[in-house]
């Protein structure tokens, strides 16, 4: 297994690098700078860092005012608080107002671990993907995180980036290039396709290696941009492999699986299976225990691929 | 690049010159206020929906700002050094549209398109639709936070513009207003003036019966703001308070403007029924007679 690296630590350090190059980059936090890792930026550029205290709604509003005045604000907290606590502020003051605010939230999913259900965002993608004009991105490792943060800083328009608390193995090489709206083929294959995001991409690769031993040739797509999603890659996967499994650390409702199903239903319906959280809240536990409990492991993906292949026409 | 496009504090001179683009003498301000009230009731009657009460109560506040205080250029709504006016109480959009049309941001004839499909004059203020509208609002409680962001950007850029945010009193029920109030004091945002249109009524009744805000002045003071109390229909008091607020250093300033909801139209005054209801044809006729 490759070395495990913190995505949020990479986020914090990337912000500092961007801040050196672009004086318009400003950062906001809601009393979580040691956890979201915006602390590095706060140390380097105190005059461009605003800690609003435990007040996420106000943070989003201030960010929108800064954006309307030509700044490029990055606003960070936990995903349960943005979009969770301030959905209306994101809806009206950011998305409807079409302002260039970058919301980067950490501690998504059950891999938050011991803090339990209140702190495990499992619905943030459903919320954010429902807003017109908001770009939604889920990096899968630290290398991709750095490229994503650089890309959203340059992109003109509101963005939501979802990061986990846990460290993840690097699955991309150092020369990885990220493009908003483009899927990445992590492994070619013709028997079925696993489309995964975030934490689940490494699990999908492990599953594909396992399936290869049984002679199942499984394609793996990393889908870092959930919106606007790469419809071409999805339709091609349906046509060429005839079966799709989606894998996400999110509710089954309104996340990656729902989005992929909507697209293939329109263009080329093929059997699908969904590896996701099945309409329940999380709980306390160790991250790996919770991934097992909620059936979000490589083993679960292997099982889903075997099932979906049985249903192929 | 013309001086007015430059992005630095030294262009104060050009900013002062711009003031003449929209200006009225103290005498004329009263007739401006009457014209605004006539526009408000007429456009809401035409649309057959909208919020007359809270639009009429803030007429003098908007008149003082747009004709005397704000440095702005209707010919260049995005002028970088303009003072910013943020309508946080977005349901008072008919007031803002009347002001913007009178100032020349768009043709007066467009006022009759309020709330119609594809109109630039949306039911609540929308920055993406209307020239001169700084921020989208309608969901109460969000404008003051936005105003802080605009003020902080001005400070970072060493621009000398000032930011004005108009809130309703009922809006102060929203927790976000007080999050913003704390932050403005913490960040010592002294290029910001908030004005609370304190008409005493909210959608379904009197503030004091629904959710009492008193003591409102003391609340803002306790949150670290410089507070001034004025009669919100007295232009002299308003102009005096707005000028004094500019000189406050190290803290944000708020003006609590005591107003009458529906001001200027007898049957709308202090009548909660006209929070969000249009006058019918007969009522419009009566209203326009009173606003002669």
| DSSP 8-state assignment for residue B270 | T
Is A178 contained in some domain? no
Answer yes or no: do A40 and A143 share one domain: yes
CA distance A301 to chain B (A): 43
CA distance A209 to B227: 68
CA distance A227 to A130: 9
Q: Which of B90, B142, B224 to mutate to test the interface with A (most CBs of A within 10 A)?
A: B142
CA distance A261 to A157: 27
Closest CA to B217 of B225, B209, B205, B208: B225
CA distance A305 to A218: 8
Q: Which of A30, A53, A58 to mutate to test the interface with B (most CBs of B within 10 A)?
A: A58
> Beta partners for B201?
B206
Is the confidence at residue B10, as pLDDT, over 80? no
pLDDT of residue A258: 98
Is A230 contained in some domain? yes
Is A164 contained in some domain? yes
Domain-terminating residue out of A169, A204, A228: A169
User: Across the interface, which of B126, B137, B183 has its CB nearest the CB of A58?
Assistant: B183
User: Across the interface, which of B137, B149, B175 has its CB nearest the CB of A66?
Assistant: B149
Compute, in degrees rounded to 10, the torsion defined by CA atoms A183, A83, A75, B166. 130
Number of domains in chain A: 2
Is A113 contained in some domain? yes
Asked if B199 and B243 count as a contact pair (C-beta separation under 8 A), the reply is: no
Answer yes or no: do A25 and A115 share one domain: yes
Element (H, E) at A218: strand A218-222
State the catalytic residues of A.
Answer: 56
Answer yes or no: do A154 and A42 share one domain: yes
pLDDT of residue B23: 74
Answer yes or no: do A24 and A128 share one domain: yes
Predicted confidence band at B16 (pLDDT cuts at 50, 70, 90)?
very low
CB-based contact, B154 to chain A, within 8 Å: yes
Closest CA to A281 of A111, A113, A120: A120
Predicted ipTM > 0.85: yes
Q: Which domain holds residue A224?
A: 184-310
Is A175 contained in some domain? no
Answer yes or no: do A217 and A137 share one domain: no
The number of residues in chain A equals 313
List the structure tokens of B178.
């007080």
Is the confidence at residue B14, as pLDDT, over 70? no
All domains of chain B in start order, with CATH: 19-290 (3.40.50.970)
Answer yes or no: do A13 and A58 share one domain: yes
Question: B4 burial class (0-12, 13-18, 19+ CB within 10 angstroms)?
Answer: middle
Compute, in degrees rounded to 10, the torsion defined by CA atoms A91, A93, A94, A95. 40
Domain-terminating residue out of A144, A169, A194: A169
Is A268 contained in some domain? yes
Is the confidence at residue B13, as pLDDT, over 50? no
Question: Using a CB-CB distance cutoff of 8 angstroms, which residues of chain B are in contact with residue A89?
Answer: 142, 145, 176
Question: Using a CB-CB distance cutoff of 8 angstroms, which residues of chain A are in contact with residue B87?
Answer: none
* First-to-final CA distance of chain A: 36
pLDDT of residue B22: 76
- Chain-centre distance for alpha carbon B51: 14
Q: What does each of the 313 residues of chain A score in pLDDT, given as a tens digit?
A: 578 999 999 999 999 999 999 999 999 999 999 999 999 999 999 999 999 999 999 999 999 999 999 999 999 999 999 999 999 999 999 999 999 999 999 999 999 999 999 999 999 999 999 999 999 999 999 999 999 999 999 999 999 999 999 999 999 999 999 999 999 999 999 999 999 999 999 999 999 999 999 999 999 999 999 999 999 999 999 999 999 999 999 999 999 999 999 999 999 999 999 999 999 999 999 999 999 999 999 999 999 999 999 999 8
CA distance B112 to A37: 52
Answer yes or no: do A145 and A204 share one domain: no
Question: Using a CB-CB distance cutoff of 8 angstroms, which residues of chain A are in contact with residue B156?
Answer: 26, 47-48, 71
The string of pLDDT tens digits covering residues B158-213 is 999 999 999 999 999 999 999 999 999 999 999 999 999 999 999 999 999 999 99
Is A179 contained in some domain? no
Non-local CB neighbours of B127 within 8 Å, separated by 6+ positions: A68, A97, A98, B133, B134, B135, B136
Is A86 contained in some domain? yes
Element (H, E) at B84: strand B84-87
Does A65 sit within 8 Å of B149, measured CB to CB? yes
With b for 16 or more beta-carbon neighbours within 10 A and e for fewer, the A272-311 pattern comes to bbbbbbeeeebeebebeebbeebebbbebbbbbbeebbee
* Residue A118 φ then ψ, to 5°: -60, -25
The larger pLDDT score, comparing residue B34 to residue B25, is at: B34
CA distance B57 to B213: 18
Q: How big is the A-B interface in CB pairs under 8 Å?
A: 108
CB-based contact, B179 to chain A, within 8 Å: yes
CA distance A293 to A71: 43
Answer yes or no: do A104 and A240 share one domain: no
Task: Look at residue B130 and give its three-state secondary structure.
Answer: coil
pLDDT of residue B18: 52
Answer yes or no: do A207 and A163 share one domain: no
CB-based contact, B135 to chain A, within 8 Å: yes
Mean pLDDT of B107-130: 98
Does A69 sit within 8 Å of B157, measured CB to CB? yes
Answer yes or no: do A286 and A226 share one domain: yes
What angle (nearest 5°) sits at the alpha carbon of residue B82, between those of residues B77 and B83? 120
CATH number at residue A223: 3.40.50.920
Least confident of A17-21, B3-7, B128-132: B3-7
Predicted confidence band at B6 (pLDDT cuts at 50, 70, 90)?
very low
Answer yes or no: do A119 and A191 share one domain: no
- A159-162/A102-106 β-pairing: parallel
Does A53 sit within 8 Å of B135, measured CB to CB? no
Non-local CB neighbours of B239 within 8 Å, separated by 6+ positions: B64, B68, B69
CB-based contact, A77 to chain B, within 8 Å: no
Answer yes or no: do A119 and A233 share one domain: no
CB-based contact, A67 to chain B, within 8 Å: yes
CATH number at residue A62: 3.40.50.970
Question: Using a CB-CB distance cutoff of 8 angstroms, which residues of chain B are in contact with residue A47?
Answer: 156
Asked if B97 and B24 count as a contact pair (C-beta separation under 8 A), the reply is: no
Please give the residue of chain A at the shortest CA–CA distance from B83: A69
User: Across the interface, which of A58, A65, A98 has its CB nearest the CB of B176?
Assistant: A58
pLDDT of residue A1: 56
Question: Using a CB-CB distance cutoff of 8 angstroms, which residues of chain B are in contact with residue A67?
Answer: 149
């Amino acid at each position: 297994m490759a070395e495990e690296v913190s995505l949020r630590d990479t986020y914090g350090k990337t912000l500092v690098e961007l801040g050196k190059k672009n004086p318009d980059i400003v950062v906001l936090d809601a009393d979580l700078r040691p956890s979201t890792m915006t602390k590095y930026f706060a140390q380097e550029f105190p005059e461009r860092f605003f800690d609003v205290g435990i007040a996420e709604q106000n943070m989003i509003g201030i960010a929108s005012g800064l954006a309307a005045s030509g700044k490029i604000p990055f606003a960070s907290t936990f995903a349960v608080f943005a979009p969770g606590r301030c959905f209306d502020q994101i809806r009206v003051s950011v998305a409807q107002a079409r302002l260039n605010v970058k919301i980067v939230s950490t501690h998504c999913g059950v891999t938050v671990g011991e803090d339990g259900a209140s702190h495990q965002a499992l619905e943030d993608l459903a919320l954010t993907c429902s807003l017109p004009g908001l770009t939604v991105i889920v990096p899968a490792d630290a290398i991709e995180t750095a490229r994503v943060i650089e890309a959203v800083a340059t992109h003109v328009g509101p963005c939501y980036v979802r990061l986990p608390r846990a460290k993840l193995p690097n699955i991309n090489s150092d020369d990885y290039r990220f493009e908003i709206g483009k899927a990445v083929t992590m492994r070619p294959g013709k028997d079925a396709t696993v489309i995964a995001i975030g934490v689940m991409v490494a699990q999908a690769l492990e599953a594909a290696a396992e399936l290869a031993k049984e002679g199942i040739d499984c394609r793996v797509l990393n889908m870092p941009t959930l919106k606007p999603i790469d419809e071409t890659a999805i339709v091609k996967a349906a046509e060429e492999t005839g079966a799709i499994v989606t894998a996400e650390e999110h509710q089954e409702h309104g996340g990656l699986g729902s989005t992929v199903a909507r697209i293939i239903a329109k263009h080329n319906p093929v059997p699908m299976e969904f590896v996701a959280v099945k309409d329940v809240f999380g709980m306390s536990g160790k991250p790996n225990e919770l991934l097992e409990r909620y059936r979000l492991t490589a083993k679960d993906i292997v099982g889903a691929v075997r099932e979906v292949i049985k249903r192929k026409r | 690049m013309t001086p007015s496009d430059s992005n630095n504090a030294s262009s104060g001179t050009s900013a002062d010159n711009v003031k003449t683009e929209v200006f009225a003498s103290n005498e004329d301000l009263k007739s401006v206020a009457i014209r605004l009230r006539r526009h408000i009731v007429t456009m809401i009657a035409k649309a057959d929906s909208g919020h007359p009460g809270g639009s009429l109560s803030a007429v003098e506040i908007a008149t003082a700002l747009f004709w005397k205080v704000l440095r702005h250029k209707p010919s260049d709504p995005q002028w970088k050094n303009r003072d910013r006016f943020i309508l946080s109480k977005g349901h008072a959009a008919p007031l803002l549209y009347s002001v913007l049309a009178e100032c020349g941001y768009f043709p007066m004839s467009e006022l009759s398109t309020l709330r119609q499909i594809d109109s630039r004059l949306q039911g609540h203020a929308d920055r993406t639709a209307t020239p001169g509208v700084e921020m989208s609002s309608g969901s109460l409680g969000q404008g003051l936070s936005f105003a802080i962001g605009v003020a902080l950007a001005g400070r970072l850029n060493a621009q000398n513009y000032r930011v004005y945010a108009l809130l309703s009193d009922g809006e102060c029920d929203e927790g976000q207003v007080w999050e913003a109030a704390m932050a403005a004091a913490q960040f010592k945002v002294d290029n910001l003036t908030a004005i609370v249109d304190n008409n005493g009524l909210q959608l379904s009744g009197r503030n004091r019966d629904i959710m009492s805000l008193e003591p409102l002045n003391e609340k803002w003071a306790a949150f670290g703001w410089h507070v001034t109390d004025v009669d919100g229909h007295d232009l002299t008091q308003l102009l005096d308070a707005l000028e004094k607020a500019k000189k406050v250093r190290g803290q944000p300033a708020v003006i609590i403007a005591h107003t009458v909801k529906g001001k200027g139209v007898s049957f709308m005054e202090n009548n909660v029924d006209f929070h969000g209801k249009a006058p019918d044809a007969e009522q419009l006729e009566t209203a326009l007679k009173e606003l002669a």
